[in-house]
Structure 1
Amino acid sequence: MSRNVSINRWNIASRVLAALVGGYAVAYAVTAFLAVYLPLARPDRVVFSSLASFAVWTAVAIYVFAARSATRLWLPIIGVTAVLCLAAFLSGDWRVRP
């Protein structure tokens, strides 16, 4: 019985860490990506992407606690963050980098 309690504690700790740190990472990646690729004026892109980051962080937190396993919650978070950050920082136009 104590083994299940220990596993459950680590599962909850992993989910809380994913919601806090992973949610922040995905929100940052989305903000950087939208700040580079939205077809608006630069101040509008920055404001829109910054406001959208709050919705993204909330969606990631909801997803983290709805996922069935730790693998199903960490892989999409890491993948989306990596792809969006690479797309934002490797854009062809160097003057619009976040």
Structure 2
Amino acid sequence: MSRAVQNLRAARGRDIAARALAAVPLNYAVTSALTMLIARLLPGDAAQASIAATTLSFAIFAGIAMTAFAVRSALRLWIGLVAAGLVAGTADWLLIAVGGRL
């Protein structure tokens, strides 16, 4: 086996590992931050908003997991997920700080 083929296989392995890490643990963190944000923004009482947001979170998690293996660049995937997580986390923190419902 040539050196180029070995390098290509190693690069593919790193790409798959980066996508798998984005598809599960990073996805879980982003989905939980988005779920908290959605639960705070939905109208109605806290219990109904929480149930609706949790139900929606399954679709969000599945969509992000599928996207993790569909996008062309793992780097752009990570940048997008980290940015979405930071925005959702910051919005959650701000809503709590100004007196939003817990």
Count of matched residue pairs: 96
* Structure 2 unaligned residues grouped into runs of 5+: none
Indicate the residue corresponding to 1:93 in structure 2: 99
Distance 1:39 1:17 in 2: 34
In the TM superposition, residue 50 of structure 1 has moved relative to its aligned partner by 0.8
TM-score by length of structure 2 reads 0.88
Query: Structure 1 regions of 5+ residues with no counterpart?
Result: none
Structure 1 stretches of 4+ with a deviation exceeding 3 A read: none
TM-score, length basis structure 1: 0.92
Give me the whole-angstrom Cα distance separating, in 1, the residues matched to 2:93 and 2:39: 11
| Displacement of 1:40 | 1.5
Superposed CA deviations along residues 8-67 of structure 1, whole A, max 9, x for unmatched, are: 001001101100012101210111101211112100011011111111000001111011
**3-state SS in 2 of match to 1:39:** coil
One-letter amino acid matched to 1:10: R
Percent identity over paired residues: 30
In the TM superposition, what is the alpha-carbon distance from 1:72 to its structure 2 partner? 1.6
Greater C-alpha radius of gyration: 2
